[in-house]
Structure 1
């Protein structure tokens, strides 16, 4: 038989993707974990000793981090899937994940409203804002350099 030259791109495409795992999703999000830890510590410091408000803001940051990791996990599953994931399936997955995170945040905010439950929403919003900024900076640098 003759040897057939296979382009490198085709060889890489033939290699099966690693299976999705939550542990790998967490490992891939080290910067987000550091950000979450700093924001959680900051939430207790900024509330000047009001532990209830600090804990509620920390809960919001934790929900934001959970959403970040679960998004990474969903992307891993889509890459590792034998069949390509359709836009509708991915959108449905995202909608369900966001609905669960939002429901948890609003439930905590409503139940602990008197103790500063709005801190949950604040912590969630701050985490997402800073995580989005940290994600966009390398992308903008790449676009500028190319």
Structure 2
């Protein structure tokens, strides 16, 4: 039996018995590299146009997206390691809490950066989330194809 993580396939024997930050970081190397690349590119392009505030807003948005990705993966990894099957209610509560917190933090960050640089927070968050979703979907589609 295999468990598909964002980074690809891992045999069940490779999964830890306890979820730690180190375990999460091990499974999320691609997401971390993606976030670093996106943040660096956003900062480099915006600074080239003389918009330091926009660059740091993009970095903040990408960071929030990475945090959201980590929170989602942490919750999922805890469920997989425990061998439990989450209920619809538990998934709904977890998602609502995570997205409400993310929205509040993104709104505060956008207010701090001010208009129009605040759009960088939302842009960085949205683009990271979209790419992370694709990174998560591709291994799942490959596994479905192989079954």
Shorter-chain TM-score: which interval? 0.7 to 0.9
Q: Gapped runs of 5+ residues in structure 1?
A: 1-7
Moved more, 132-141 or 36-45: 132-141
| Separation (CA, whole Å) in 1 of partners of 2:31 and 2:107 | 23
- Could you say if the C-alpha distance between residues 132 and 17 of structure 1 is closer, same or farther in structure 2, counting changes exceeding 3 Å? same
Q: TM-score, normalised by structure 2?
A: 0.78
> Within 5 A, what are the aligned runs for 1:62-77?
62-77=63-78
CA drift at 1:132: 1.2
What secondary structure sits across from 2:115 in the alignment?
helix
| Separation (CA, whole Å) in 2 of partners of 1:85 and 1:35 | 29
Q: Which structure is richer in relative contact order (CA contacts within 8 A, separation 6 or more)?
A: 2
Is 1:42 paired with 2:12?
A: no
**Contact 1:25–1:70 (8 Å) recurs in 2:** no
Q: What residue in structure 2 maps to residue 116 of structure 1?
A: 117
- What stretches of structure 1 move > 6 A for 4+ residues in a row? none
**Contact 1:32–1:65 (8 Å) recurs in 2:** yes
What are the Cα deviations for residues 17-48 of structure 1, in whole angstroms up to 9, with x where unaligned? 61122221122110000000000101112212
Larger radius of gyration: 1
What are the Cα deviations for residues 86-122 of structure 1, in whole angstroms up to 9, with x where unaligned? 2212221121111111111111112322360110000
Q: Which has the higher strand share?
A: 2
| Separation (CA, whole Å) in 1 of partners of 2:27 and 2:84 | 24
Q: What residue in structure 1 maps to residue 127 of structure 2?
A: 126
